[in-house]
């Protein structure tokens, strides 16, 4: 299947270009975007710290601050490695361990493979964790995610998080976009923002991506800029690392250096063998004053650094008392301690650092002018040691036969949607005890609930029954297609911390005729060397139509309604796309699309499409060379020639064509027009 080969080549080539963008854009971002607190899901808790000094003077002079990175290192170093089956991740993991490098494996669904090697990736994923690595999300099915409606985006992002949390019993907090598909025109930033909001809803708080992701975005996630990937030669790699390491702004705002992006060394996918990977790992491990971590650890540390607050409470005699407010462990999903730095006094003036509910470890990096210690999380904060997934895909609403999971055999439950509310039912056997319950409702961006988080102390042989009204929010377009809902329930079960992800699906809203998805007939595929746009336009203008196209071998291509070319799931497409070849290939034959468009009155409209520079548009037989088109009252014929092309690396696929007729002033989609395929 062409898909798998292109996936590799494309990411390689795309990445090379973007590295240039990284270098150019390196100085273009400011610090204000770091101040945003990442949404309503986050809680904080407080710890008291006592520092005893040798004398009152030291207690008066001491200054305590949170270090920007663990152990007050200058920089963090990690790896982003993508994909399940296309990469030889295991050999790379072995080499990383040899050089003391850690990283995060961004995986797709357990059984997903772009080619024929389907199977369960869990045994490999378990070995990838060794050496201090973590797993992140890379979508369930490796699509160009921006072609999908918001509900499917949510399913791809949340689905892969739940799959790996439940399979590995480890939290997943970090995401990497498949195909680096971020902001295709004509929607651009709007679709990127939808995907970022969706990531938050799904429970991710870290992204590893090229720095141009955040050009004009108020990013609420923690962020690791990625370095030029494997296809550049060593000199380019070294230059990039040196640039990043010494860049002041990166050091201050995004101190992570992320080696990326596929473990292809020593395979047919890459011109370099493992000797090349060794050179790179050696360079990274030789950087001075670096914290080698995985990206869960980095995200948890930086999230605390950005949002924690350390306040001196009192200085009495030789004692300094401070209060630390920091994000809860359940929101960080990684147990990273915080490093506090004491300056202003000699290190031998410090007698003791104490916190009643947490471990305090002195750092191995003391100097006489500055002392460091690591403050763990409160012993009352706990992360799940087992994670389960209880699915209700058919949205059954009864209380009988509630599903259970081997991780928690005494617990049964499900979520379901009924009468515009989301319901959770969780039953615990009488002999068991469930406490410290926290429910986080997870809904896609077209929906809200009244209370996102529910907390409850315990459940004594009773059932937990919760309901939340589902409130439609934002544009209607956010609610098209099958809808996925979830509840993340953290708890202690007989004193052991656990987590269950509950999920259910509903059919969702069907796109109507004001959307182009099923409103166009297509003519194609036509090999590019047998297509002539000028000839087509001439036929259209002379004859008023072109019902067939004759190929070189004499065969004819005719218009088709309800075409399903390619493997892309039609139900998942954003209905503002018209399906053409329906694959993620970067080479496409020609397709022509036509629709009878009904407008209730005559007006000017803005016609937005993908690949505006490539395509040709005919409205009522007239070739249109601007975005603004004239619609008559009643029926209009719109024809779009979507020429085949071998797309350059920065171009989105020709899987389909975005089509929007919009108000020229506001850019809002006209909802009173109707598309009709003929
Ligand atoms: Zn990938």
**174-194 confidence digits (pLDDT tens):** 999 999 899 999 999 999 999
Return the pLDDT at 37: 31
| Ligand 1 centroid – CA 15 distance (Å) | 12
| Ligand 1 centroid – CA 81 distance (Å) | 9
Cα separation, 398 vs 576, whole angstroms: 36
| Ligand 1 centroid – CA 270 distance (Å) | 15
Return the pLDDT at 649: 52
pLDDT band for position 4 (cuts 50, 70, 90): very low
pTM over 0.85: yes
Average pLDDT in the chain? 90
| Ligand 1 centroid – CA 533 distance (Å) | 35
**201-248 confidence digits (pLDDT tens):** 999 999 999 988 888 998 999 999 999 988 899 999 999 999 999 999
pLDDT band for position 367 (cuts 50, 70, 90): confident
Return the pLDDT at 651: 62
Residue count of the chain: 678
pLDDT band for position 16 (cuts 50, 70, 90): very low
Do the Cβ atoms of 282 and 275 come closer than 8 Å?
A: no
| Ligand 1 centroid – CA 568 distance (Å) | 16
Judge residue 547's burial from the number of C-beta atoms within 10 Å of its C-beta, 0-12 exposed, 13-18 middle, 19 or more buried: exposed
DSSP run (H or E) holding 249? helix 248-253
Q: What percent of the chain has pLDDT over 70?
A: 92
Q: Is the pLDDT of residue 12 over 50?
A: no
52: which DSSP letter?
A: E
Question: What domains does the chain contain, in order, with CATH numbers?
Answer: 2-24+74-303 (3.20.20.370), 386-506 (2.60.40), 521-676 (no CATH)
| Ligand 1 centroid – CA 484 distance (Å) | 23
Q: For 67-204, list the strands marked E by DSSP.
A: 75-82, 104-107, 134-137, 174-175
| Ligand 1 centroid – CA 109 distance (Å) | 12
Mean pLDDT of 153-175: 98
Mean pLDDT of 393-400: 90
Mean pLDDT of 430-441: 90
Mean pLDDT of 304-315: 97
Question: In the Cβ-directed half-sphere of 582, how many Cα atoms lie within 13 Å?
Answer: 17
| Ligand 1 centroid – CA 136 distance (Å) | 12
Cα separation, 461 vs 428, whole angstroms: 6
Q: SS3 helix, strand, coil % of the chain, rounded to 5?
A: 25, 35, 40
Residue keyed to tokens 């663990």: 70
What DSSP string runs through 525-546?
EE-GGG--HHHHHHHHHHHS--
| Ligand 1 centroid – CA 176 distance (Å) | 8
| Ligand 1 centroid – CA 140 distance (Å) | 11
| Ligand 1 centroid – CA 581 distance (Å) | 21
Cα separation, 194 vs 447, whole angstroms: 13
| Ligand 1 centroid – CA 208 distance (Å) | 12
Ligand 1 (ion): which residues have CB within 5 A?
82-83, 178
| Ligand 1 centroid – CA 83 distance (Å) | 5
Cα separation, 25 vs 14, whole angstroms: 16
CB atoms within 10 A of CB 168: 18
Q: Is the pLDDT of residue 290 over 50?
A: yes
| Ligand 1 centroid – CA 315 distance (Å) | 54
Q: Is the pLDDT of residue 31 over 80?
A: no
Q: Which residues lie below 8 Å from residue 648, measured CB to CB, with a gap of 6+?
A: none
| Ligand 1 centroid – CA 365 distance (Å) | 38
Q: Which residues lie below 8 Å from residue 163, measured CB to CB, with a gap of 6+?
A: 109, 110, 140, 389
| Ligand 1 centroid – CA 358 distance (Å) | 40
DSSP run (H or E) holding 202? helix 189-202
| Ligand 1 centroid – CA 271 distance (Å) | 18
Cα separation, 105 vs 176, whole angstroms: 10
| Ligand 1 centroid – CA 58 distance (Å) | 54
Residue 391: strand, helix, or coil? strand
| Ligand 1 centroid – CA 229 distance (Å) | 12
Residue 29: strand, helix, or coil? coil
| Ligand 1 centroid – CA 458 distance (Å) | 42
Among residues 68, 62, 635, which one has the least CA distance to residue 353? 62
Return the pLDDT at 232: 92
Return the pLDDT at 2: 30
| Ligand 1 centroid – CA 178 distance (Å) | 5
Q: Which residues lie below 8 Å from residue 498, measured CB to CB, with a gap of 6+?
A: 384, 385, 386, 387, 388, 407, 408, 490, 491, 492
**329-349 confidence digits (pLDDT tens):** 999 999 999 999 999 999 999
| Ligand 1 centroid – CA 325 distance (Å) | 38
Return the pLDDT at 645: 78
| Ligand 1 centroid – CA 233 distance (Å) | 21
480: which DSSP letter?
A: B
Cα separation, 607 vs 81, whole angstroms: 39
User: Among 19-23, 261-265, 543-547, 643-647, which stretch is predicted with the lowest mean pLDDT?
Assistant: 19-23
| Ligand 1 centroid – CA 567 distance (Å) | 17
How would you classify the pairing of strands 616-619 and 634-642?
A: antiparallel
């Amino acid at each position: 299947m062409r898909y798998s080969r292109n996936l590799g080549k494309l990411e390689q080539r795309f990445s090379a270009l973007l590295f240039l963008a990284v270098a150019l854009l390196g100085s273009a971002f400011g610090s204000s975007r770091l101040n945003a607190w990442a949404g309503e899901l986050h809680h904080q808790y407080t710890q008291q710290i006592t520092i005893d000094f040798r004398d009152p003077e030291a207690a008066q002079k001491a200054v305590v601050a949170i270090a920007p990175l663990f152990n007050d290192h200058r920089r963090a170093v990690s790896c982003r490695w993508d994909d399940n089956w296309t990469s030889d991740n295991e050999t790379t993991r072995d080499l990383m361990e040899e050089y003391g490098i850690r990283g995060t494996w961004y995986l797709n669904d357990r059984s997903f493979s772009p080619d024929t090697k389907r199977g369960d990736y869990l045994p490999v994923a378990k070995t990838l964790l060794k050496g201090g690595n973590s797993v992140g999300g890379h979508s369930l099915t490796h699509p160009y995610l921006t072609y999908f409606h918001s509900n499917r985006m949510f399913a791809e992002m949340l689905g892969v998080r739940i799959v790996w949390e439940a399979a590995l019993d480890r939290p997943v907090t970090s995401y990497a976009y498949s195909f680096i598909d971020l902001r295709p025109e004509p929607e651009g930033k709007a679709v990127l923002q939808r995907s970022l909001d969706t990531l938050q809803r799904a429970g991710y708080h870290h992204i590893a991506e090229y720095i141009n992701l955040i050009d004009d975005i108020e990013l609420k996630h923690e962020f690791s800029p990625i370095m030029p990937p494997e296809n550049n030669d060593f000199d380019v790699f070294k230059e990039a690392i040196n640039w990043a390491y010494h860049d002041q702004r990166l050091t201050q705002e995004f101190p992570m250096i992320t080696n990326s992006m596929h473990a292809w060394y020593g395979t047919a996918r890459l011109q370099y063998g493992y000797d090349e990977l060794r050179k790179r790992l050696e360079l990274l491990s030789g950087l001075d004053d670096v914290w080698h971590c995985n990206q869960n650890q980095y995200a948890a540390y930086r999230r605390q650094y950005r949002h924690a607050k350390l306040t001196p409470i009192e200085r009495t005699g030789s004692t300094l008392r401070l209060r630390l407010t920091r994000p809860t462990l359940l929101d960080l999903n990684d147990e990273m301690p915080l490093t506090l730095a004491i300056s202003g006094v000699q290190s031998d003036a410090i007698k003791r650092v104490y916190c009643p509910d947490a471990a305090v470890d002195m750092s191995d990096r003391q100097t006489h002018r500055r002392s460091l210690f690591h403050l763990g999380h409160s012993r009352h904060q706990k992360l799940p040691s087992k994670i389960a997934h209880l699915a209700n895909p058919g949205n059954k609403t009864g209380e009988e036969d509630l599903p259970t999971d081997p991780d928690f055999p005494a617990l049964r439950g499900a979520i379901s949607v009924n009468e515009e509310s989301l319901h959770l039912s969780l039953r615990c056997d009488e002999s068991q005890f469930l406490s410290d319950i926290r429910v986080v409702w997870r809904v896609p961006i077209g929906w809200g609930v009244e209370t996102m988080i529910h907390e409850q102390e315990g459940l004594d042989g009773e059932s937990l029954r919760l309901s939340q009204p589902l409130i439609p929010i934002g544009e209607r377009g956010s609610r098209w297609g099958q809808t996925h809902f979830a509840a993340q329930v953290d708890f202690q079960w007989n004193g052991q911390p656990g987590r269950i992800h509950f999920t259910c699906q509903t059919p969702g809203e069907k796109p109507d005729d004001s959307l182009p998805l099923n409103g166009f007939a297509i003519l194609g595929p036509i090999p590019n060397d047998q297509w002539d746009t000028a000839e087509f336009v001439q036929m259209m203008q002379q004859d008023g139509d072109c019902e067939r196209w004759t190929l070189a071998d004499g065969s004819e291509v005719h218009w088709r309604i309800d075409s399903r070319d390619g493997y892309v799931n039609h139900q998942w497409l954003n209905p503002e796309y018209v399906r053409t070849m329906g694959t993620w290939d970067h080479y496409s034959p020609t397709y022509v699309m036509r629709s009878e468009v009904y407008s209730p009155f005559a007006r000017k409209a803005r016609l937005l499409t993908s690949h505006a520079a490539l395509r040709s548009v005919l409205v009522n037989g007239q070739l249109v060379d601007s975005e603004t088109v004239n619609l008559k009252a009643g029926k209009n014929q719109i024809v779009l020639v979507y020429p085949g092309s071998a797309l350059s690396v920065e171009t989105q696929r020709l899987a389909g064509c975005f089509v929007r007729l919009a108000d020229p002033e506001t850019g809002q989609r006209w909802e009173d027009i109707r598309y009709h395929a003929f």
